[in-house]
Amino acid sequence: GENVEQHPSTLSVQEGDSAVIKCTYSDSASNYFPWYKQELGKGPQLIIDIRSNVGEKKDQRIAVTLNKTAKHFSLHITETQPEDSAVYFCAASKRDDKIIFGKGTRLHILP
């Protein structure tokens, strides 16, 4: 079955700098790659997603890139702000199938 690896597990960046979180997946049939942000005591919130027919997607300060050949995808957050501090999960799935999550990255934005 699908396996999603996520790195790093913890990331600290200075406010205003960029943050990058990387994930790899094992099943070449996976075609949907969402990213979730989870704040303490809350459910995950979908922040951006990308499908396998697209190499890059951007939404304001957030961008995701996908390399299907290498089975890598990454989340990029630019101009980080204190409210970006949270746990971020990458995930992968196939159509009509369950989502497989990475282990999460705890992002700390330093003042």
Partner 1 sequence: GAVVSQHPSRVICKSGTSVKIECRSLDFQATTMFWYRQFPKQSLMLMATSNEGSKATYEQGVEKDKFLINHASLTLSTLTVTSAHPEDSSFYICSARVGAAEQYFGPGTRLTVT
Nearer to partner 1, 41 or 111 (CB): 41
CB of 24 to partner 1, least distance (A): 15
β-partners of residue 29 are: none
CB of 42 to partner 1, least distance (A): 6
Nearer to partner 1, 20 or 32 (CB): 32
**Left (φ > 0), alpha (ψ -120 to 50) or beta: where does 61 sit?**
alpha
Residues that bind partner 1 (CB under 8 A): 32, 34, 36, 41-46, 49, 51, 89, 93, 95-96, 98-99, 101-104
CB of 102 to partner 1, least distance (A): 7
3-state secondary structure of 33: strand
Nearer to partner 1, 42 or 83 (CB): 42
What is the full DSSP assignment across 82-102? GGG-EEEEEEEB-TTS--EE-
Nearer to partner 1, 9 or 18 (CB): 9
